[in-house]
Amino acid sequence: MSLTIDITGLSDERLLFTPSPLAELSAVLHVLAEPAHHPDLHGWAASTTATVPPALAERLTEAEFLWRSSRADFLVPGIPGATLAEELDAVDRIDDEQYVRAALVTACGVSRLAHRTASPLTDPEAQERARELALARGPRQADFADRLLTDPPAVRALVRRLLED
């Protein structure tokens, strides 16, 4: 998929381009999760997958819905940092509400607009709906959504550790 953004007319002062270590990592994880989507990278994906330690490969598989079809917003920083650690620190500063909503988009397979009304952290109906949608996507998504809704700080720590590893 290609994306074209027309910047005609913007002054040079309004343009900033810098790579994002976290966005690059999530793009790489997407390729590893969906190598068929990227036939030009098949050789790289196969050789990389072969070198990933089994325990890490299992953890990546458990969380791959965070980057497989779409990406949680916090994996693509609006203002990139210089290092992965810096960007993960910025993710840590996101409040639980914003983090949970972004993670549920990928776990539940819903539009970003679907979670804009009631909070899945405080509203029982929104929480139940999120659990139902995640269950419909699969057992890993359901388990993740349940853990996320029950203990956001613990899940955030697990995701950060996974991305660091």
Would you tell me how many other CB atoms lie within 10 Å of the CB of residue 146?
A: 17
- For residue 112, is pLDDT > 70? no
Which pLDDT tens digit goes with each residue over 118-154?
889 999 999 999 999 999 988 989 999 999 999 999 9
**Class of residue 66 by CB neighbours under 10 A (exposed 0-12, middle 13-18, buried 19+):** buried
Q: What is the dihedral sign for C-alpha 92, 133, 54, 35?
A: negative
Q: Which helix or strand (DSSP H or E) is residue 44 part of?
A: helix 42-51
Over residues 99-106, the mean pLDDT reads: 90
- For residue 59, is pLDDT > 80? yes
DSSP for 46-66 reads: HHHHHHS-HHHHHHHHHHGGG
**Chain-centre distance of CA 75, in angstroms?**
5
Per-residue pLDDT band for 4 (boundaries 50, 70, 90) equals confident
**Chain-centre distance of CA 99, in angstroms?**
10
Reported pTM = 0.84
- For residue 54, is pLDDT > 90? yes
Per-residue pLDDT band for 109 (boundaries 50, 70, 90) equals confident
Over residues 66-92, the mean pLDDT reads: 92
